[in-house]
Amino acid sequence: MAFGNDHEQHSLFGEILDWMLAPLLLLWPMSIFLTYVVAQNIANRPYDRDLAEVAYAIARQVAVEEDVGTTLRTVQLRLPALAAEFLRSDEVAHAYFQVLGVRGEFVAGDFDLPLPPEPAVVNGEVRFRDESVHGEDVRVAYLWQPIPGAAGDRPTLVQVAETLEKRALLANEIIKGVILPQFVILPVAVLLVWLALARGIKPLARLQQRIRQRDAGDLSPIDARHVPDEVAPLVGSFNDLLARLDQSISAQKHFLADAAHQLKTPLAGLRMQAELAARAIEWGTADAATMKASLEQIATSSQRAAHAVNQLLSMARAEDREQALRQQPFGLVEIVRDTVRDFVPRAMDKRIDLGYEGPEPGQDTQLHGQPVLVREMVRNLVDNALQYTPPGGTVTARVVVDPFGQVVVLQIEDSGPGIAEAERELVFQPFYRSPETTIDGSGLGLAIVREVAQQHGASIGITDTLPRAQAAAQGIGPGTLITVRFPVHRPPAPQPAAAAAPAPPRRADPRSPRPATIPSAAG
């Protein structure tokens, strides 16, 4: 049988063949048993009729004589000796007969035949029963013969018995006639089933051959017009997989092309500055100021290249599905506070007020996921906000805890030029750069943010910090508010507990202790 472990590879042909042959092999012994029962019944019928005829014939030879002086009735069997001898002359089976009178006296035949039960109604019909005589099983036909005109007397009893050898021989002949052809039919049936099944799965073999003959780069859908209806859903699912794979490969090619383009510019700048410095040295015009400018340009280009490489590595890490399965609990507040602390020197260089608002570490902000990826997401959000916020502006990283314990909200708010509503979906695409921006960047920051958010089941949205009309009246940019809502996955508590009141938000600016309040946009 092919019923092995589900994790082991097995043959579909063998499994279907097993399921088809197993009932056949199970029904075959049942068929033999039923054939034996039916053959016994068939074999009994003619011999029962013969016994009944003999019993009737003997009953017709029973005579009742009445003694005139005593009014007693005497039963006599007028059966010639030759006829009695003929009843016992069977060479295969042994025959017995018995006649009892009106008082139960033995009249003729064999004395050892057992008596049947007393009849409830005497109607002269032959009945049958199975008995044992001298240790042999016999079939008995008997009848109670009423005496005409003698209501008070018992009826006479006539019994005829025969051993079962002839019946067994006939039953065996019937069984042989039925069973022996089955020994020929069963192998033929198995062969026909095998051939039919082999022919039935030929379309699968042809489909397999078509798939094997396809070119490795051919991701076009498989033609499902010539496949069986049962296989059509499988082919449709495979075509869907091919379509997704084609889309993924196209996206990877596009990603690699954009990555090569992003790295090409800083590397070309590095090469150009190095060649200029070499020529200046060769021509003898390499003064300190020229060399310093070249080195600064080389440092800037190498920093851009390193930033682009780091962003590409972060994007690859965020898209790693296998790594996404390895999750662990982490605290969002610790990540946000550490990130803000790391960017303080850069914010001070740009004269930007960078701060943190939210609860203290450990105050009900535990999430489950990849802390490394979430840290990279927060770093990209803060870095993006610092890039687009002009000097003298404000950048705030904020964590808001849902009092109902359903979500933890991360907000990064800046006072920069904002993002136009038409571009708020485009900025999440890899390497997208707004046509109006003059800020250097790789265009991967927000793409990494969305990828990490999707892996953690979080939603992300972009709004303006201030209404655009109000910002225009004040002569400042509307700013950008990016909100990420992380779902909180907690095991069900045994008893509902009262929700704790959220801790009051507090701005924890590493540079300045001045407090700040959470605006209404915090949700």
Residue at token pair 């914010």: 347
Torsion of CA 145, 147, 151, 155, to 10 degrees: -30
Token pair, residue 482, equals 């990016």
3-class SS of residue 356: strand
Instruction: Give CA–CA dist 484/407, Å, rounded.
Output: 10
- Weakly modelled stretches of the chain, pLDDT under 50: 1-4, 491-523
CA angle 62, 67, 72 (to 5 degrees): 80
Instruction: Give CA–CA dist 128/314, Å, rounded.
Output: 96
Q: For position 3, what pLDDT does the model report?
A: 45
Helix axes 288-318, 232-283, angle to 10 degrees: 170
| Beta-bridge partner residues of 485 | 409, 459
Q: For position 354, what pLDDT does the model report?
A: 92
The yes/no answer on whether domain 323-490+501-522 falls in CATH 3.40.50.9100 is no
Instruction: Give CA–CA dist 403/162, Å, rounded.
Output: 97
Amino acid letter for position 215: D
In tens, the pLDDT along 208-256 reads 787 888 887 777 888 777 777 777 788 888 888 888 888 777 766 766 6
Instruction: Give CA–CA dist 89/155, Å, rounded.
Output: 29
Amino acid letter for position 43: A
Sheet (strand 95-100) strand order:
106-109, 95-100, 156-163, 136-145, 127-133
Longest CA pairwise span in the chain (Å): 175
**CATH topology for the 236-313 domain:** Helix Hairpins (1.10.287)
Q: For position 74, what pLDDT does the model report?
A: 76
Q: For position 221, what pLDDT does the model report?
A: 81
Is the Cα dihedral 244, 246, 252, 258 positive or negative?
A: negative
Helix axes 12-60, 165-200, angle to 10 degrees: 160
| Extents of the domains making up the chain | 13-172, 236-313, 323-490+501-522
Instruction: Give CA–CA dist 158/145, Å, rounded.
Output: 7
Percent helix, strand, coil in the chain, to 5, is 50, 15, 35
Is the Cα dihedral 83, 85, 88, 89 positive or negative?
A: negative
pTM, two decimal places: 0.45
Closest C-alpha among 451, 459, 484 to residue 316: 451
Q: For position 483, what pLDDT does the model report?
A: 93
Instruction: Give CA–CA dist 261/255, Å, rounded.
Output: 10
Which residues, 6 or more positions from 151, have their beta carbon under 8 angstroms from its beta carbon?
A: none
Torsion of CA 287, 290, 296, 300, to 10 degrees: -150
Q: For position 502, what pLDDT does the model report?
A: 41
In tens, the pLDDT along 372-422 reads 888 888 988 998 899 889 999 999 999 998 887 788 999 999 988 888 888
Closest C-alpha among 398, 370, 347 to residue 458: 370
DSSP code per residue over 269-333: HHHHHHHHHHHHHHHT---HHHHHHHHHHHHHHHHHHHHHHHHHHHHHHHT-HHHHT--EEEEHH
Q: For position 34, what pLDDT does the model report?
A: 84
